[in-house]
Amino acid sequence: MATSVIVSVCHTPTAAADYHQKALDRVRAVFSETEASCSRFRQSTDLSKLNQSPSDWHSVAPLCFSAISEAYDAYKVTKGLFDPRILRDLTSLGYVNSWTAGLPDSRSNPSSRTRQALNDWKPEFESNGKVRVGEFPIDLGGIGKGLALRWSAKEIEPETPNFLIEAGGDCICSGTGPTGAGWNIGVQNPFQPDGDPLMVLRLSDIAVCTSSTAVRSWWQNGVLRHHIIDPRTGEPGGNGLAAVTVIDNDPALAEVWSKSLFLVGRDSIREFSEIRGVAAVWITDRGEIFRNSLAEPYIIWNSL
């Protein structure tokens, strides 16, 4: 997933002596299995094989089947703002290989950027693990990390209920943290990723995910691009925004909404997020930081 994963587990007196190592091993296994089944960058994964002929029926592993089903649910919940059928848009922008393999190709042919609007997505599922996703190949990177966080948390929660799993800045915070007051999570400055946070949240039994242009941005034919694609246009979206952070009970939904709200843009994000009951913090391309009323209860420190 081209990201580091950090697991923090608080001591549980009744747990087995090796529960720290077991928790780490279980989380590592879930992330490895998710990547092995759902990565678009590995030719051997079920997703890559499916994407070679998306209009055909394919038998896929349970994790891949679940991820595609969850992606379809997210598509419906966001009314198409989240749409995994943006794979061809990403590759035409030069984002073909994993970020760990180097920056995307900056010399892609501009003519490949022309495409028509996507029609309604109606993937088909069968109970025997078969799926047909339709005309376009799909990218599960926009939801896969959130699902891996959810699935790995379920693996360790029964024995280690007080833990934090962080994957590339996205977190699931279970229990009350090391002090009993909750887990303190910083909101990163997208213009100074290694600097001090702009805001600190205190979270317990909840997830937080951020979509940002801080890392996955590159130049193509003299134009600055990023990986958060608006499925309505096929182009990088998020007018006026640099980062969006969402707090939600489920890390997969937090991941989905952070990207969807980013695409809404600076002018509409407050009203859009509050109407839908999504707790959000956002940073504009001018460096301004805002939050909606639903995020207020989680904020314990603000740089402004």
Determine the Cα–Cα distance for residues 17 and 295; give it in Å rounded to an integer: 38
pLDDT classification of 108: cutoffs 50, 70, 90: low
Query: Does the predicted TM-score (pTM) go above 0.85?
Result: yes
Mean of the per-residue pLDDT values for the chain? 93
| Residue scoring higher pLDDT (216 or 50) | 50
Does residue 258 carry a pLDDT above 70?
yes
pLDDT in tens, 77-102: 999 999 999 999 999 998 988 887 77
Provide the residue range defining the domain that includes 247: 5-302
CA torsion angle 128 86 152 281 (round to 10)? -140
For the chain, how many structural domains are there in total?
1
Residue type, 140: L
Residue type, 262: F
- HSE, CB side, 13 Å, CA atoms: give it for residue 23: 27
Please report, rounded to a whole number, the percentage of residues in the chain having pLDDT higher than 70: 95
pLDDT classification of 55: cutoffs 50, 70, 90: very high
pLDDT classification of 145: cutoffs 50, 70, 90: very high
| Residue scoring higher pLDDT (152 or 169) | 152
Does residue 303 carry a pLDDT above 90?
no
The CATH number covering residue 279 comes to 3.10.520.10
pLDDT classification of 113: cutoffs 50, 70, 90: low
Determine the Cα–Cα distance for residues 26 and 234; give it in Å rounded to an integer: 37
Instruction: State the pLDDT at residue 84.
Output: 98
Residue type, 227: H
pLDDT in tens, 9-37: 997 776 667 878 888 999 999 999 999 99
